[in-house]
């Protein structure tokens, strides 16, 4: 395996030239989130080579941007009265274009698991059953039974009373992958929160399946606003715009964009 090889759990092979430093021990980094911990865990137990398309870049271990374009110093410091759970499809945690990790950077209460069609992690199931949370799947209503659909987090049990915190479940992958994850048995009994975006996506890092489709971070902004976490939503929006600028500058071989 060469220095530009990234490995993942047994599964499909990809192509991307990413450079990571994997610590010898599971040290918790100052900027650690559930997504960065999941990425390290997947690297540690992987068995197949993962070689990705793209320039040979030295990348930040956290934001996955080129080291020269790293945005970690601009990570927002805000609070939010909610939690996020990311179910990540095979290989998604390694993609520099993934924006779910931006939500984890902003909302401190976050969890991430690698999705599996056949294996259900006991820790994941315990989290979904935790009485401190009111779990809800964030997904378009057109794919859910009418009785599961809600339009606001305040409709979840215990949220208005302040006894439970919304746990927003984000299905992180391509649109086809998200639809596959949505059919998971352990999600079928949960309510489904649909969002109505007021404007088209401003993502531009990957081709969308639908013109109106939002990326994960943009969905997160809408969800935070629905929950009344407007400061966190605004901070995530600014952070996302900076991330997108630096990502596109890297692809175009331009220098880092001034954060100001």
Q: Do strands 165-172 and 133-138 pair parallel, antiparallel, or not at all (unpaired)?
A: parallel
- The pLDDT tens digits for 52-78 are 554 577 889 899 999 999 999 999 999
pLDDT number for residue 58: 86
Look over the chain and give the mean of its residue pLDDT values, rounded to a whole number.
82
Of 121, 126, 100, nearest to 35 (Cα)? 100
Using alpha carbons, list the distances in angstroms from residue 174 to 54, 80, 99, 169.
19, 27, 12, 15
List alpha helices for the chain, DSSP H. Answer: 34-45, 100-106, 122-129, 175-182, 216-226, 230-251
DSSP state of 196: -
Of 126 and 31, which is predicted with more confidence? Answer: 126
The rounded distance, in Å, linking the Cα atoms of 239 and 121 is: 31
Q: Is the dihedral of CA 211, 216, 218, 222 positive or negative?
A: positive
pLDDT number for residue 45: 80
The pTM for the full model equals: 0.82
pLDDT for residue 34 is more than 60: yes
pLDDT number for residue 48: 65
pLDDT number for residue 43: 87
What residue spans define the domains of the chain? 78-251
pLDDT for residue 126 is more than 90: yes
pLDDT number for residue 255: 64
Of 154, 144, 151, nearest to 195 (Cα)? 151
pLDDT number for residue 251: 79
User: At 51, is the pLDDT very low, low, confident or very high (cuts 50, 70, 90)?
Assistant: low
Average pLDDT over residues 106-114: 97
CB pairs under 8 A, 24+ apart, for 222-227?
Answer: 222/195, 222/197, 223/82, 223/138, 223/153, 223/168, 223/193, 223/195, 224/80, 224/82, 224/107, 226/152, 226/153, 226/193, 226/195, 227/80, 227/81, 227/82, 227/153, 227/166
pLDDT for residue 47 is more than 90: no
Of 122 and 49, which is predicted with more confidence? Answer: 122
The rounded distance, in Å, linking the Cα atoms of 172 and 110 is: 14
- The pLDDT tens digits for 230-252 are 999 999 999 999 999 999 888 77
How much is the CA Rg of the chain, to the nearest whole Å? 18
User: At 50, is the pLDDT very low, low, confident or very high (cuts 50, 70, 90)?
Assistant: low
pLDDT number for residue 52: 53
- The pLDDT tens digits for 73-92 are 999 999 999 999 999 999 99
Of 41, 214, 14, nearest to 95 (Cα)? 14
pLDDT number for residue 57: 75
pLDDT for residue 49 is more than 50: yes
pLDDT for residue 96 is more than 70: yes
Q: How many residues does the chain have?
A: 260
pLDDT for residue 136 is more than 50: yes
């Amino acid at each position: 395996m060469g220095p530009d090889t990234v490995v993942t759990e047994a599964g499909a092979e990809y192509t991307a030239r990413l450079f990571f430093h994997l610590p010898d021990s599971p040290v918790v980094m100052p900027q650690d989130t559930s997504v960065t911990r999941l990425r390290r865990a997947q690297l540690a137990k992987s068995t197949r080579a993962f070689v990705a398309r793209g320039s040979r870049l030295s990348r930040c271990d956290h934001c996955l941007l080129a080291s020269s374009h790293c945005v970690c110093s601009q990570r927002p410091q805000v609070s939010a009265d909610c939690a996020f759970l990311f179910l990540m499809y095979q290989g998604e945690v390694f993609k520099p274009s993934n924006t779910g990790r931006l939500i984890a950077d902003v909302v401190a209460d976050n969890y991430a698991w690698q999705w599996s069609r056949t294996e259900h992690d006991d820790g994941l199931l315990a989290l979904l059953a935790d009485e401190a949370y009111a779990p809800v799947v964030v997904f378009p209503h057109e794919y859910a039974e009418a009785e599961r659909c809600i339009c606001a987090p305040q409709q979840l049990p215990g949220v208005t009373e302040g006894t439970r915190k919304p746990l927003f479940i984000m299905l992180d992958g391509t649109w086809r992958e998200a639809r596959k994850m949505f059919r998971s048995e352990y999600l079928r009994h949960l309510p489904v929160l649909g969002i109505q975006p007021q404007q088209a996506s401003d993502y531009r890092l990957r081709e969308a399946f639908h013109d109106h489709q939002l990326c994960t971070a943009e969905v997160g902004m809408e969800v935070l606003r629905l929950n009344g976490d407007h400061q966190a939503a605004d901070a995530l929006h600014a952070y996302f715009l900076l991330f997108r600028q630096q990502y596109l500058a890297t692809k175009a071989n331009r220098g880092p964009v001034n954060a100001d």
